[in-house]
Amino acid sequence: MKKLIKSIAFFFLAGSVFIFQGCKPKGPQEAVVGNAASKVYVAPGKYDEFYNVVSGGFNGQMAIYGIPSGRLFRILPVFSQFPENGYGYSEETKPMLNTSHGYVPWDDLHHIALSQTNGEHDGRWAFGNANNTPRVARVSLRTFKTEEILELPNSGGNHSSPFITENSEYIVAGTRFSVPIGENRDVPISTYKENFKGTISFIKIDPQSGHMSIGFQLKTPGVNFDLSRAGKGPSHGWFFFSCYNTEQAYTLLEVNASQKDKDFIMAVNWKKAEEYIAQGKGVKVKAKYAHNLLDEKTHTATSEMMTEVLQLDPTILKDIIYFIPCPKSPHGCDTDPSGEYIVASGKLAALIPVFSFAKIQKAIADKDFEGEFAGIPVIKYESALHGEVKKTGLGPLHTEFDEKGNAYTSFFVSSEIVKWNVKTLEVLDRVHTYYSIGHLSVPGGSTRKPHGKYVIAYNKITKDRYLPTGPELTQSAQLYDISGDKMQLLLDFPTTGEPHYAEAIPASLIMPNSVKIFKIEENNHPYVAKGEKETKVVRKGNEVHVSMTAIRSHLVPDNIEGIKLGDVVYFHVTNLEQDWDVPHGFAIKGAANAEILVMPGETQTLKWVPDEVGVSPFYCTDFCSALHQEMSGYARVSPAGSNVPIKFSTGVIAPEGKGTAK
């Protein structure tokens, strides 16, 4: 008998081990099949098929990868200082990080939106959001430089951003946290319901220059906005946002914002909002926010403080917004390529509701509402619903699409991507990710013209994927082939920061326009030296401005005297090279402001406040030629009040015995 029990116990134990292993994602070494390596191998000298523009999350940057190789090409500084190229350190780039709170050196970049024309990627700009101090940035895909940053007033954190309309008319910025706005903001936190408001900013994009300005701002009931997508095709003119915390909780949101069975998808008719503005129904309110712009010709950014914003109140101006109930704290809110279906993912749900734009329109026309929430009509769930995808997985987050009518949804809790058919709502395939996937990306997967071929998983947990590097690890992404019926794992690749959303775009849309140099003839920097003849050292009070040139392999001037303790020295370094990939760097001993890197034809400025009398060496920090080590010079610093005159030269050798200090 005992034996029997023992054997039964053993049986169960073995069984549970088996089941346990069955639940855990198997290592990709088991999931990878034969020809995976050849599908991601990009031979030396060959190029990747897609650019992958990936958000850096808490590093505040964007990163550029090649797909299918997964190789990292560049990290682009956006909302954070970047020691690699002096962004946020050089005098020219410091204004880019200016805000109404002053200089913010580090933020959190979550989402990417690539510019579109006719619902397709056009390869002009990449936009990114700053989640913490609310801002949106525009990066040029010609120069891969951050060209513009616009701050957002009346926002408590910019999360549902920067999603874009199909002709890049607008990108949106929805507040993550509702906060008191307006004149009186010193209110008890417990007055959330009456005093806290959300805002959604519609940022206008100038079609030629790309310049951003806040077109208008919608004042909404106090909830949390999470993610959003523009309508496309038939639903162009509308925008959809996921909302959570419709409980209007202000403490322990983990519990108190998860009480209701359903939160909302908010549908915004922005064409209607434009009509109200045309009728003069917008209200200008005071606001303080920074608008920072880089001039490509002066290579210099400027920061302007804006003073007002145009607001619309949809509780008064009807027909701008509607709520649609959506199960369990919705996160992702994605429109399919046809523009007819809106896929919403309740983080805590096990099913995915798919709404129909046509049905939403009919429900609005028929006033098929279940009531109001804070003065906004709430459409009946069933009236807006196309259907539910059942038995999917746990914790659906985000959905991307292919060109064949399929959707790919990421599941954080169950670590998988589920492929399903948008029309039939039938689950077709599922693959594990390693581990705990957040966002995912199909090339063109958010546009009217997806390119299919791959889906990339951006995971939150790395654990054992790579050789360990202590407690702090890189992030992990996986690439899957989706060209066949079954998704096939091809590649694991590490990513920097913590990627949230990313977009992938065919290389052919970007590569031909990539700038190689800045033309020295077009450089309008106020301290440019277009040739060594224009180099100079000029004293203005206690400021000393050095207009310096760099070319392989010397700096002009390379002997500078007449600097005194108490001076502030600006080295304006112009790179005279006009050849691709010949940057020069500049550093001087004791500079508290790091170094700079100067691209061909560009001028960048390093500020130096000498703190000791003596001679400080400076040098080029970018290995540029065989004589790079010789590319250096000296700056002499004399005591305050001394009468050493300003003097500068290169290649001048004093006669014997006359070079001594006076």
Q: Which two tokens stand for residue 292?
A: 């920072």
Distance CA 327, CA 392 (A): 14
The nearer residue to other proteins, 365 or 626, going by C-beta atoms, is 626
The nearer residue to other proteins, 44 or 641, going by C-beta atoms, is 44
Instruction: Name which of 466, 411, 401, 476 is nearest 438 in CA terms.
Output: 411
The nearer residue to other proteins, 243 or 556, going by C-beta atoms, is 556
3-state DSSP assignment of residue 337: coil
Distance CA 152, CA 383 (A): 35
The nearer residue to other proteins, 538 or 627, going by C-beta atoms, is 627
Rounded to 5 degrees, φ, ψ at 443 are: -50, 125
Q: Give rounded-to-5 percent helix, strand, coil for the chain.
A: 15, 45, 45
Q: Which two tokens stand for residue 173?
A: 């910025």
Q: What is the DSSP string of 143-208?
A: T--EEEEEE-TT-S-EEE---B-TTSSEEEEEESS-EE-SS-----GGGHHHHEEEEEEEEEE-TT
**Residue 433 parent element (H or E):** none
**What are residue 482's DSSP bridge partners?**
none
CB of residue 563 to other proteins, shortest distance in Å = 24
CB of residue 578 to other proteins, shortest distance in Å = 4
CB of residue 600 to other proteins, shortest distance in Å = 8
CB of residue 395 to other proteins, shortest distance in Å = 44
The nearer residue to other proteins, 57 or 585, going by C-beta atoms, is 585
Evaluated on CA atoms 427, 430, 436, 441, the torsion sign reads negative
CB of residue 630 to other proteins, shortest distance in Å = 10
CB of residue 128 to other proteins, shortest distance in Å = 31
3-state DSSP assignment of residue 64: strand
Instruction: Name which of 500, 503, 502 is nearest 226 in CA terms.
Output: 500
Which amino acid, residue 165? T
**What are residue 540's DSSP bridge partners?**
543
CB of residue 652 to other proteins, shortest distance in Å = 13
**Residue 615 parent element (H or E):** strand 614-619
The nearer residue to other proteins, 4 or 43, going by C-beta atoms, is 43
C-alpha distance from residue 165 to each of 103, 186, 200, 214, 270 (Å): 31, 36, 14, 15, 10
CB of residue 74 to other proteins, shortest distance in Å = 22
The nearer residue to other proteins, 12 or 580, going by C-beta atoms, is 580
CB of residue 517 to other proteins, shortest distance in Å = 6
CB of residue 554 to other proteins, shortest distance in Å = 7
The nearer residue to other proteins, 62 or 551, going by C-beta atoms, is 551
Computed on alpha carbons and rounded to an integer, the radius of gyration of the chain in Å comes to 29
CB of residue 650 to other proteins, shortest distance in Å = 10
The nearer residue to other proteins, 31 or 517, going by C-beta atoms, is 517
Evaluated on CA atoms 542, 548, 553, 558, the torsion sign reads negative
The nearer residue to other proteins, 46 or 540, going by C-beta atoms, is 46
CB of residue 84 to other proteins, shortest distance in Å = 23
Cβ atoms of 74 and 16 closer than 8 Å: no
CB of residue 54 to other proteins, shortest distance in Å = 28
The nearer residue to other proteins, 315 or 553, going by C-beta atoms, is 553
Distance CA 168, CA 146 (A): 18
Lookup result for tokens 């009531």? 371
Lookup result for tokens 């914002």? 257
The nearer residue to other proteins, 431 or 624, going by C-beta atoms, is 624
The nearer residue to other proteins, 482 or 520, going by C-beta atoms, is 520
Distance CA 624, CA 627 (A): 8
The nearer residue to other proteins, 503 or 577, going by C-beta atoms, is 577
The nearer residue to other proteins, 136 or 528, going by C-beta atoms, is 528
CB of residue 300 to other proteins, shortest distance in Å = 20
Binding site for other proteins (CB under 8 A): 45, 517, 519-521, 530-534, 549, 551-554, 556, 576-580, 582, 625-627, 651
Distance CA 205, CA 631 (A): 44
CB of residue 515 to other proteins, shortest distance in Å = 12
Question: Cβ contacts of residue 224 below 8 Å, gap of 6+?
Answer: 176, 177, 178, 198, 243, 244, 245, 253, 257
The nearer residue to other proteins, 6 or 297, going by C-beta atoms, is 297
CB of residue 209 to other proteins, shortest distance in Å = 25
3-state DSSP assignment of residue 6: helix
Cβ atoms of 341 and 357 closer than 8 Å: yes
Query: ω before 276 within 30° of 0 (cis)?
Result: no
Instruction: Name which of 623, 614, 567, 558 is nearest 589 in CA terms.
Output: 614
Rounded to 5 degrees, φ, ψ at 262 are: -135, 140
Cα within 13 Å of Cα(291), Cβ side: 13
Lookup result for tokens 């709502």? 425
